[in-house]
Amino acid sequence: MREERVSRAIVVGWDWAEGHHDVVVQDAPGHILWAGQMAHTREAWEGRLLAWAHQQRSAVHGVMETSQRLVVDWLRTTGIWVYPVNSKESDARRKPSGAKTDRMDAAILARLGWTERDALRPLRPTDEAWGEWRQLTRIDESLTQQATRLAWLRQPRDPRPAQEAPRIWGGLPQRALEASPGKRRAPVWAVRALVARWHAVRAEQQTLRGPLAELFLASLDADLGMSVLEVAVTWGARLQAGFGPQRDRREWAEAVQALAGASPVLDQSGKLQRVHMRRACDKHIRAAVHQLAFTSLSRCAWVREYYDQYRAWGHGHHAALHALPHVWLDSLPHGEDPPALRRGPVVGRPCAARGLTRSAV
């Protein structure tokens, strides 16, 4: 009896919210041990979850629709197995009537923990350096977007603004009323503020990339991230931070492509068959591999040839860039040449060098 008690498990279906959480605890499939709302405090979690695990002498498995919150980090430090699932998984298991409540969602997640736990992938404890590395890449990506937006606002749209401005002004109809000199001078300060913000963002971004490069180059995966393409430290760090520290997550090329949204989704029913873009993916990795494909156009001959061939088939620019990561990521986990090179018709080496200079951008 004691051995049976020890071997039992507790599955917690956790519907995440900001102020409180709806939780359904089951000690057997379909048997609810407790259901209710749990406050967003550490005392509430310790008083419930850890107490159940100690009393029942059981392993606790938590299923939730998030993997990035502070509560997830705390749960992983307590020995609780955390299984993040996509919200579409629970949406597909709702009743045909479409009824939805937080308690029902928690019950669905608990049922998933019993019926499909073997197919779910638990989060593993990670070291502090990797967590900092991942956060720095997210901040660097955000600063890049801000700098690009500000640069677009401050740069002239015409290649010859000084020569074209008088011509455009002369062709405009004369206005009956003119703004006062003070109102005409005021927008100058807005332009100066935009330029100052752009310089400040770029300066902070260059400062941030120093510790980011140190963390990346100290990792075991630095050579893997920089060997396939002559990529700088910044993009290599973003790719590796998205894949995570567990190499088994990218053991197969198909898993890597799906994680980055590079593999298409087949929708087939009867005679109807269509292929559409994968949207359930990591958006940060998708942005990184999209930029990787764009920068490789001018560095690798086979990439340019593949791109031109794809455009010749009638596809647009972005469609061709979406197709390139599918080929790149097929070779990244094992450091091999892309399969397009091994099959043909595109021939050549992806890059000339394998030992690349680690120079940050």
pLDDT in tens, 270-285: 888 888 888 888 888 8
What is the number of domains present in the chain?
1
Q: Which domain holds residue 94?
A: 2-119
Which of 245, 247, 229 has its CA nearest to residue 300?
229
CATH, residue 41:
3.30.420.40
- Contact between 40 and 21 under an 8 Å Cβ cutoff? The reply is yes
Q: Is residue 289 assigned to a domain?
A: no
- The dihedral through the CA atoms of 175, 180, 185, 191 has a sign that is negative
pLDDT in tens, 73-123: 778 777 788 898 888 887 888 887 878 888 888 899 999 999 888 888 888
Q: Is residue 242 assigned to a domain?
A: no
The CA distance from 338 to 319, in Å, is 19
Statement: residue 148 has pLDDT above 70: yes
Q: Is residue 90 assigned to a domain?
A: yes
At residue 312 the predicted structure's pLDDT band, cuts being 50, 70 and 90, is very high
Q: What single-letter amino acid sits at 38? A: M
pLDDT number for residue 33: 83
- Contact between 10 and 59 under an 8 Å Cβ cutoff? The reply is yes
Mean pLDDT of 228-240: 70
Q: Is residue 151 assigned to a domain?
A: no
Q: Is residue 84 assigned to a domain?
A: yes
Least confident window among 124-128, 191-195, 265-269, 324-328: 124-128
Q: Is residue 35 assigned to a domain?
A: yes
Other beta carbons within 10 angstroms of residue 35's beta carbon come to 15
Q: Is residue 81 assigned to a domain?
A: yes
Which of 150, 142, 153 has its CA nearest to residue 287?
142
For 88-97, the CB contacts below 8 A with 24+ separation are 88/280, 90/65
Q: Is residue 95 assigned to a domain?
A: yes
